[in-house]
Structure 1
Amino acid sequence: MMHAFKQGRNCVTSRTPYGCDRLYLTSDGKPSFVIRNLADGRQHKLTHDTKEIIDTLGRAGGGVKGHYRKQKDEQVLIVSGEQAKTEVVREIFDLHYNQHWGGKRIADLLNRRGILSPTGKGWSQRQVESIYENPIYCGVALGQRISQGIYYRRGEQHPEAVDLDAKTLANCHVAPKQHRPPAEWLWQEQPLMKGFLPEPLVTKARQEIENVLLERWQRRNDPTCQKRSTNKHKDSPYILTGLLFAAQDGEDLSGVMCGNEKHRKRYYRHRKGNANYRKGSILNRLIPAEALEKAVVALMREVPLDAPMLRDRVLQAITDRPSTDASRRQLAEAQRERDAIAKRVQLIFQTFDDADLADAKPVLKGLNAQARALEHRIAELTRALEIVDVDSTPEELADRVIERLSGLDAQLVNLPAATLRNVLKAFVERVEVDMETKNATVTLRLPPWALHSGDLAMCLAPSSASSTGHETHPGHDVSGRGLVIHLTHADCRYLHKAGCTTVPPCYDCRRRAA
């Protein structure tokens, strides 16, 4: 492949950019035909001069199946494509580099005009940025920035070996990405793209694109730069993440900081306010985070003791619990199956060499999936069994629940955000907010650990930031479903303070019957 790149027989750009086509030439350099990608996944085979349709390849939604496959003796070049799309690309470059528009503002303009994105949907900010950061429109293609080779990767003179341990090869679905240094990036001139943009704009855009790509690579490889955590909300102050949804379409809301540098505040917003951005849409409206979080926490501290018929609900739930003997038999059987799978996996790693491990990768993947399912089943059975207290009557258990919840108010005062978010996941079933009126509806439930015979402090401590707690007390996970008793629903209405129209409005919580 590297030899084909150097000879110009293949293009380093694996995907045809938006507004471009691929021109195929014969071995002696004569134009043969053009392949144009469509938004629905199909391809049109066109004549190279008149652009008349010769054939249609693939099927809608079929991926790359049926697409044209380049022959070894053919050459390929990137050329300008459909006229309407090329005009869109030129306008994007002009708006960004000459008029200094950002990706979100350009996406809003394109969506208002009804212009579809490369995927056939509305434009998002990142889709626009990926176009004005692509050097192909300046007449040069850039490739070989990322390597995902399992055993080897492309090198300048010969293939370079990739050092991956056997366990990674056996368990990963695809090889992990490795960002190559700029010295190994492959720049390839595309002569037929030279006149795509006007010359003054080409020089300016290409220099800025190179600077952006270089700064991004340096940031990714800077050891002092803080890396993004796989758990984006581990220490986040947005305690309603995963619980807050929009009433219009049921999509979840995410946390965001807005405002100038001196007056930044926390809000929740709809994800479509970023993707498929459209100015003036209801989904762009922001929900003040602090006011809503205080309202939900206050509701959680008040409702459990005030909920009607709480004692009767607890007694009914304890009476209707599953048989303990059947649950213990199911738990023991699940634990035996899990241990057998663990021994089988360990035996494979001890006896197989690297080549055999690569062949056994599908088998190991299936065993890991079975083990995860069994662990989930064991956790559910363990939570159900831990609720049972053979030394107490159902009435005593109900009294214990009420007594325990009475002390919940004092324990929530100084909890860190990570633990408080974990407790909310146990008490709050769902928070649904109307993006137009900003009124929220809260559904509360009684978590299963409230019936547990252990100490409440042990139930509140484990969180995503405390792996030791999860390993030591897996049955106390406050996010576990187990036995759930619904308490009530409540309305949190978005109202202005009486007699004031200038300050931000606050939430005034009002309960209503379930």
Structure 2
Amino acid sequence: MESPNNKRKRVKPILRCSTNEQSERSPDDQLAIIKAMADARDWEVLDPIRLEGRSGSLHATMDWAVEQVIAANRAGEDIDDAIVYDQSRMGRTGGFAFGTHKQQLAAAGIGFISVDCPIEGPHADFIQFANAEAARAQAISIAASSARSSQISLERGLRGHSTQAPYGLDRLYLNAQGEELFIIRKLADGTSLRLDPRTGAELERYPKGVRAYRKGGLETATLCIGSEEHRQVVIRIYRLRHEHGWRGVRIARELNDAGIPSPRGRHWTKDTVDGILMNEVYLGFAYARRYTDAIYFRHQDKAPERLEGPGGRKVRGYRPREDWFRVEYPKLTEYLPSKLRDAAARWQAAYWDRYEDGHVRSPERGQKRLHALSGILIEETTGQPMSATQSGTRANPKTYYLLPGSHQYSSQESFLRRRIPSAPLYRAIIDEIEMLVCDDDGLRDILRTEILKAEAERRAGDGEAESLRARYEKLGRKMESQIDLLGEDDDDVMRRKVEQTKAQRRAVMERLAEIDQGPRLTADQTDELVEQLIEALQSELAAFAAAGRPAFRKLTEMLIASAVADLRSGTVSIEFAVPASMIQHRFMGMDRPCEPKWRTHTHKWKSLPLAAITVELPERCDMDCWEPFEPKGCDDCRRQRRTA
């Protein structure tokens, strides 16, 4: 989008690569190309959004990226355009999905640029739609070819059931004659080692992101016993489960307390432990084609099976037993002690019998549901967003907020495992919003004060604009003299000085761009803007009261500027504000016939603070704690009495 008043364009890069192996180089390569284009046009490049190891064929991937760009703009980054290296980085889900994402950005005042094809003009949308459809067709073709070749290799015994070696195991490569070539071991930090299969000596080391080896067409890849240290951890997990009766959460806590890193070098979780306990590979065999996790095609005898249903979403679930394909691993039959192996075999057989009929979920089911505070509520100590989980019955569900993977924290960090009941928070939020919005006079005073303060902050003080222009010209003369000195012995030093001076000039220009040179808001315009905001807020509250809980998320996204949970003290601090987008929208709709057209775009409003509250959470939440608090809007007598 055009950047008015000679302000430097600010672009937000979106960097995406499909596999973890590409994450070491591809995002940085994309960013370098974007920066080259930006430097040539004197654009400012903001901190990028990174999607590493994320498939562009999934709607959720780019949904998240677009949400992050809009959230960053709302938080004050003042983004003019989202920029990608090529349009396929913006997803491979087709033209309609791409159009939706582009419209979402446009609604937030953000444009879209693709470095490889910076299209402008009346045909831009059509060409970008065609490019998005071509990217989707390419993704479908790649998926079909990959599924076909992978199934052929599986049936011929040339590959294992998984592309990644499970924890405590390595990949062993053999030639066409069955002779052992070498072992590939993946470390927790992403480094890969090539080892001698006879001595175990390290032959070569590959950094993260570099593929250690690409198997030949007639070579075989199988699994073998990995490091003895990791093998002992696996045996310990099986012993704790089958000899001591411990379950996943307790085992994970035991390993974390012992300082043992997880397969990825992080904390152990219940899911990681359960994944090892349920994996028959440690008994000497495993099943391919048991679980489906595909978008376009899945493995099937003779030819890949094309999946029906909407594209852009994974079809997940367990397939019936007749589809399972058993793969033997002779080198792993003695991985566990015999007594432990027998106990594990009985337990795993009973577990997997439950899935013999298969159960594949519809990709239509459940689309992503955001609870009222998901991603908004932040835990104070870690700075991480908290997510919602539900318990209770279908008739009486109870929603809690907790840190993802909270069970991984050690005993010393037990407060981080605390769950926050939603009901007390929801009641406090609804009560505060209704009291704020329904108190016309109080809200009017708050908005008028904050608008005048924002107007004063945005404008220059006496003589500031003239002073900045003089400094800009002075820095220009200084830079010219520095450039004249280039070509001498101290070139490197002088080049750094030129860059420093150039950066100072840019900072001055950005401040000049912030200064509004148009006429000030009159008292009548300020009052008009205040009344429009009050009307808009009360309209949103009325819509919430009519729709009930389903509309709560929209209200919290709009009015909560921050929500921070202190799990140690059991309190949640919440700040409410009118979002900048709502102010800008009303401001641009006001009647200002005497002002130049560009003037309406120079205002970069910030959110206007309304109020702040601290909610003390109960030690236990039962009975009255879960009593619902339904929205009443501003027509309820109780609300009118309270605001009065």
Output the aligned Cα RMSD: 4.6
Cα 1:279–1:46 shift into 2, 3 Å = same
Separation in 1, partners of 2:361, 2:538:
50
Cα 1:8–1:104 shift into 2, 3 Å = same
Separation in 1, partners of 2:623, 2:412:
22
Please give the residue correspondences for 1:352-363 in structure 2 after superposition, counting only pairs within 5 Å: none
Distance apart, 1:438 and its partner CA: 2.3
Cα 1:33–1:292 shift into 2, 3 Å = same
Cα 1:217–1:300 shift into 2, 3 Å = farther
User: Which of 19, 39, 42 is matched with 2:191 structurally?
Assistant: 42
Separation in 1, partners of 2:273, 2:427:
38
Distance apart, 1:88 and its partner CA: 0.9
Distance apart, 1:89 and its partner CA: 0.7
Distance apart, 1:112 and its partner CA: 0.8
Instruction: Determine the structure 1 residue equivalent to 2:344.
Output: 205
Instruction: Determine the structure 2 residue equivalent to 1:487.
Output: 609
Deviation track 1:27-63 (CA, whole Å, cap 9, x = no partner) reads 4444443332222222223333332x2412321x21x
User: Which of 424, 431, 436 is matched with 1:303 structurally?
Assistant: 436
Cα 1:314–1:154 shift into 2, 3 Å = closer
Separation in 2, partners of 1:443, 1:78:
54
Matched position secondary structure for 1:205: helix
User: Which of 214, 238, 251 is matched with 1:106 structurally?
Assistant: 251
Matched position secondary structure for 1:128: helix
User: Which of 172, 191, 201 is matched with 2:330 structurally?
Assistant: 191
Distance apart, 1:210 and its partner CA: 4.3
Please give the residue correspondences for 1:109-508 in structure 2 after superposition, counting only pairs within 5 Å: 109-145=254-290, 154-156=299-301, 158-160=302-304, 162=306, 168=311, 180-213=319-352, 215-216=354-355, 218=357, 220-221=359-360, 228-233=365-370, 238-257=371-390, 266-274=399-407, 276-281=408-413, 282-304=415-437, 305=439, 306=442, 309-314=446-451, 394-399=526-531, 401-402=533-534, 415-447=547-579, 485-494=607-616
Structure 1, unaligned runs of 5 or more: 322-391, 454-481, 507-514
Contact kept? 1:314, 1:485, Cα under 8 Å: no
Contact kept? 1:319, 1:394, Cα under 8 Å: no
**Which residue identity is paired with 1:37?**
K
Separation in 1, partners of 2:538, 2:182:
77
Instruction: Determine the structure 1 residue equivalent to 2:130.
Output: none
Contact kept? 1:44, 1:57, Cα under 8 Å: yes
Identity %: 24
**Which residue identity is paired with 1:426?**
M
Return the structure number with greater relative CO, CA threshold 8 A, min gap 6.
Answer: 1
Cα 1:4–1:488 shift into 2, 3 Å = closer
Matched position secondary structure for 2:411: coil
Separation in 2, partners of 1:420, 1:149:
33
Cα 1:163–1:439 shift into 2, 3 Å = closer
Structure 2, unaligned runs of 5 or more: 1-149, 459-523, 587-603, 627-644
Distance apart, 1:12 and its partner CA: 2.5
The answer to whether residue 225 in structure 2 is matched with residue 80 in structure 1 is yes
Distance apart, 1:126 and its partner CA: 1.5
**Which residue identity is paired with 1:202?**
R
Cα 1:108–1:261 shift into 2, 3 Å = farther
Instruction: Determine the structure 2 residue equivalent to 1:324.
Output: none
Separation in 1, partners of 2:299, 2:403:
42
Instruction: Determine the structure 1 residue equivalent to 2:205.
Output: 57
TM-score, length of structure 1 as denominator length: 0.63
**Which residue identity is paired with 1:187?**
R
Contact kept? 1:22, 1:76, Cα under 8 Å: yes
Distance apart, 1:204 and its partner CA: 3.7
TM-score, length of structure 2 as denominator length: 0.52
Deviation track 1:297-323 (CA, whole Å, cap 9, x = no partner) reads 2222223543554334457779999xx
Aligned length: 394
**Which residue identity is paired with 1:195?**
E
Cα 1:320–1:111 shift into 2, 3 Å = closer
Separation in 1, partners of 2:151, 2:343:
30
Matched position secondary structure for 2:557: helix
**Which residue identity is paired with 2:548?**
P
Contact kept? 1:439, 1:491, Cα under 8 Å: no
Contact kept? 1:247, 1:434, Cα under 8 Å: yes
Cα 1:219–1:494 shift into 2, 3 Å = farther
Deviation track 1:153-192 (CA, whole Å, cap 9, x = no partner) reads 6554x33463679x95xxx5x9866864321211122122
Distance apart, 1:83 and its partner CA: 1.0
